[in-house]
């Protein structure tokens, strides 16, 4: 069964480029971005891993950890890391899971039914500190992932977990947000003292409450 939003992310033990881990222990109380690659030495994925390393501080500011997965062994990963660092001008600073037996890929439904038995779907999972899956994205092999979008979703999830708001189309951190329909219009001033706009009775906006 594929993982759905709200499902508990499976735990696992694995070898990684930063040592053996138990996923839950490694994650601790952090948000986690887990994403997969079909195999080592793939060009698009090389650029993605380099970009992730360059964004380490951005993820840390959001109390988030990143971990990648590829269905190759640890020795292959170590060689790939050297290539990533050399070609992307970064120092790798997060783990890549060695999943040659496909246990993690299968637990997260990453094996593509139309591909060979080694290829994983290029999936992204955002997992919250309660181990719940909060976002899933699947990319085609030819399209690099947009990590600014992943950071944007982290911002949105963390904001909406703490306030009765939603984030509208193309929202970025600092933009106005949508007041939850469950809040009566007459109650908005008490909950959101920065003010609000009533565009329609069901569409009310307010400045981002934590900014």
DSSP string, the chain: ----TTPBPPP-EEEETT--EEHHHHHTTSEEEEEEESSSS-HHHHHHHHHHHHTHHHHHHTTEEEEEEESS-HHHHHHHHHHHHHHHT----S-EEE-TT-HHHHHTT-B-TTS-TTPBPEEEEEE-TTSBEEEEEEE-TTS---HHHHHHHHHHHHHHHHSSEE--TT--TTS-EEEPTTS-GGGHHHH-TT--EEEETTEEEE--TT-
Task: Taking the CA atoms of 60, 125, 17 and 24 in sequence, report the sign of the dihedral they define.
Answer: positive
Indicate the pLDDT class of residue 45, thresholds 50, 70 and 90.
very high
Structure confidence at residue 110 (pLDDT): 86
Over pLDDT 90: what percentage of the chain?
A: 85
Mean pLDDT of 143-159: 97
Interatomic CA distance for residues 6 and 67, integer angstroms:
20
Under 8 Å CB-to-CB from 71, ≥6 apart: which residues? 38, 39, 99, 100, 102, 105, 118, 119, 120
Domain ranges in the chain with CATH number 3.40.30.10: 13-144
CATH 3.30.1020.10 domain residues, the chain: 163-206
Residue 131 — pLDDT band, cuts 50, 70, 90? very high
Is it the case that residue 129 has pLDDT exceeding 60? yes
Indicate if the alpha-carbon torsion angle 151, 97, 60, 125 is positive or negative: positive
The pLDDT value recorded for residue 112 is 67
| Residue of 32, 33, 34, 45 with catalytic role | 45
CATH for 13-144, among 3.40.30.10, 1.10.340.30, 2.40.30.10, 3.40.50.2020? Answer: 3.40.30.10
18: annotated active-site residue = no
Residue 119: pLDDT band (50, 70, 90) is low
Per CATH, which fold does 163-206 belong to? Answer: Antioxidant, Horf6; Chain A, domain 2 (3.30.1020)
Q: What backbone phi and psi angles, to 5 degrees, belong to 115? A: -105, 180
Q: Residues 199-207: what's their mean pLDDT? A: 97
pTM: 0.93
């Amino acid at each position: 069964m594929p993982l759905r939003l709200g499902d508990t992310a499976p735990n696992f033990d694995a070898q990684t480029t930063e040592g053996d881990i138990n996923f839950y222990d490694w994650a601790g109380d952090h948000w986690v971005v887990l994403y997969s690659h079909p195999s080592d030495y793939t060009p698009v994925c090389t650029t993605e891993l380099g970009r992730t390393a360059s964004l380490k501080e951005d993820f840390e500011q959001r109390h988030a950890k990143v971990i990648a997965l590829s269905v190759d062994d640890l020795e292959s990963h170590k060689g790939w890391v050297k290539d990533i660092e050399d070609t992307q001008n970064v120092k790798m600073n997060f783990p890549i899971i060695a999943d040659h037996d496909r246990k993690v890929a299968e637990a997260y439904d990453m094996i593509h039914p139309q591909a060979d038995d080694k290829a994983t779907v290029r999936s992204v999972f955002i997992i919250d500190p309660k181990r719940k899956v909060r976002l899933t994205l699947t990319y085609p092999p030819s399209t690099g992932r947009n990590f600014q979008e992943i950071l944007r979703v982290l911002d949105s999830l963390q904001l909406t977990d703490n306030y009765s708001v939603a984030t509208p189309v193309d929202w970025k951190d600092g933009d106005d947000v949508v007041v939850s329909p469950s809040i009566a219009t007459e109650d908005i001033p008490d909950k959101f003292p920065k003010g609000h706009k009533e565009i329609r009775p069901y569409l009310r906006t307010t400045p981002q409450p934590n900014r």
